[in-house]
């Protein structure tokens, strides 16, 4: 919880809550304190780390060792750099634990997470790059959520600005340990920020739209480059930044259709092609006088292409960098892929 409670009132506040809740705060690390974390008395959690912009606790959730980090990022980029260094240090200590990080980061991760994106266009400020590098180095991802993209606004009518400053991030292990977890952002009447809620399991609710993802195996298809070239050479406006944005948006739509037509249900396509190859091989063995060797070679080549695409699909979806050709599509990678669908 982001705190606006003065130190001299903290004891009274904690006394009121102490019957039902355990808690910790970070008054000792920053004037006025910034964060409180509360957990019910029947839950067993331990304080792991404290920082002027974070508090980290750990405990057992649904039988899994889980680390929870609460964030209140400083609005000064220089000071906020210490947050990324601290998170990197925590990341080195959590081992194979599930990790969830949530709160007000006071920075966006992507340019489209600000309502002035249409004006500012595609850009990457140094503070954003620092945040992106932190997420990449720690292999953290934005938990799929229900609710608006923007979680904060300045509430100024003449110069309105809204941004996604509040996030709930998780690592791969969280998605493996809590495949039914669910995140929602809801309005909070007394705050200019939306409230982020995370359940370790809450099924049956519709998730938000899936983000566009580029699959590397597309580039191996014979029509890929022609599809990209035709789209990119299409007409657009005179403004360079607007033209780039329109080209990217147009290409995204084409590539989604490209994937749907050629690679949707990739495992089903592989199974079907294998069955087709088996049928023609059986036919050729049973009818040596009517052998269709050309057709068999064609189908076999098509199967190889599909298997390469399937391997690329699971490798990228599983987000592992040590898949080898001799380890294609094991049960582990299928489980990782199912977890990452969250």
> Which pLDDT tens digit goes with each residue over 98-141?
999 999 999 999 888 988 887 777 777 889 999 999 999 999 99
Give the three-state DSSP class for 146. Answer: strand
Report how many domains make up the chain: 2
From residue 129, give the alpha-carbon distance in Å to each of 69, 83, 110, 134.
21, 14, 9, 9
Task: Count the Cβ atoms, other than its own, within 10 Å of residue 204.
Answer: 6
Q: Examine the domain organization and report whether 236 and 156 are in the same domain.
A: no
100 is written with which tokens? 């969830």
Q: What is the pTM of this model?
A: 0.58
Percent of the chain at pLDDT > 90 equals: 31
Model pLDDT, residue 87: 96
Q: Examine the domain organization and report whether 261 and 143 are in the same domain.
A: no
Q: Examine the domain organization and report whether 237 and 180 are in the same domain.
A: no
Tell me the average pLDDT across 285-304.
86
Q: Examine the domain organization and report whether 224 and 193 are in the same domain.
A: no
Q: Is residue 104 part of a domain?
A: yes
CATH number, domain of 78, equals: 3.60.10.10
Model pLDDT, residue 324: 43
Q: Examine the domain organization and report whether 169 and 282 are in the same domain.
A: no
Q: Examine the domain organization and report whether 82 and 228 are in the same domain.
A: no
Looking at 166, 199, 232, the residue that finishes a domain is: 199
Average pLDDT in the chain = 83
Q: Examine the domain organization and report whether 272 and 130 are in the same domain.
A: no
120 is written with which tokens? 């500012």
Helices 331-340 and 293-318, axial angle in degrees (round to 10): 60
Q: Is residue 12 part of a domain?
A: yes
Q: Examine the domain organization and report whether 182 and 234 are in the same domain.
A: no
Q: Is residue 70 part of a domain?
A: yes
Q: Examine the domain organization and report whether 13 and 131 are in the same domain.
A: yes
Tell me the average pLDDT across 254-261.
88
Q: Examine the domain organization and report whether 22 and 162 are in the same domain.
A: yes
* DSSP string across 7-30: HHHHHHHHHHHTTTEEEEE-GGGS
Tell me the average pLDDT across 143-155.
87
Domain that holds residue 190: 7-199
Give the lowest-confidence range in 53-67, 114-128, 165-179. 114-128
């Amino acid at each position: 919880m982001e705190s606006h409670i003065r130190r001299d009132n903290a004891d009274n506040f904690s006394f009121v809550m102490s019957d039902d809740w355990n808690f910790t705060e970070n008054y000792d690390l920053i004037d006025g304190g910034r964060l409180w974390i509360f957990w019910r008395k029947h839950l067993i959690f331990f304080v792991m780390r404290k920082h002027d912009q974070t508090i980290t606790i750990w405990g057992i959730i649904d039988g899994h060792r889980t680390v929870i980090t609460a964030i209140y990022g400083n609005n000064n980029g220089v000071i906020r750099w210490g947050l990324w260094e601290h998170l990197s240090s925590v990341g080195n200590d959590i081992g194979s634990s599930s990790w969830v990080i949530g709160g007000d980061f006071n920075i966006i991760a992507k340019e489209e997470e600000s309502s002035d994106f249409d004006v500012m266009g595609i850009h990457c400020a140094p503070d954003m790059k620092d945040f992106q590098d932190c997420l990449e180095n720690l292999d953290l991802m934005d938990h799929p959520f229900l609710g608006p993209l923007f979680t904060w606004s300045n509430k100024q009518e003449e110069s309105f600005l809204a941004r996604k400053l509040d996030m709930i991030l998780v690592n791969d292990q969280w998605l493996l340990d809590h495949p039914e977890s669910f995140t929602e952002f809801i309005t909070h009447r007394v705050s200019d920020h939306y409230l982020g809620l995370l359940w370790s399991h809450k099924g049956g609710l519709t998730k938000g739209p899936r983000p566009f993802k580029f699959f590397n195996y597309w580039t191996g298809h014979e029509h890929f480059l022609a599809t990209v070239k035709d789209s990119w050479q299409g007409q657009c406006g005179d403004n360079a930044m607007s033209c780039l944005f329109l080209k990217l948006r147009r290409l995204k739509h084409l590539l989604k259709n490209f994937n749907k037509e050629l690679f949707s249900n990739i495992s089903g396509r592989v199974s079907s092609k294998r069955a087709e190859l088996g049928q023609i091989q059986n036919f050729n063995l049973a009818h040596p006088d009517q052998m269709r060797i050309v057709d068999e070679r064609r189908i076999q080549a098509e199967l190889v292409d599909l298997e390469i695409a399937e391997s690329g699909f699971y490798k990228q979806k599983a987000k592992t960098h040590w898949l080898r050709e001799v380890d294609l599509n094991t049960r582990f990678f299928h489980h990782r892929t199912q977890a990452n669908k969250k």
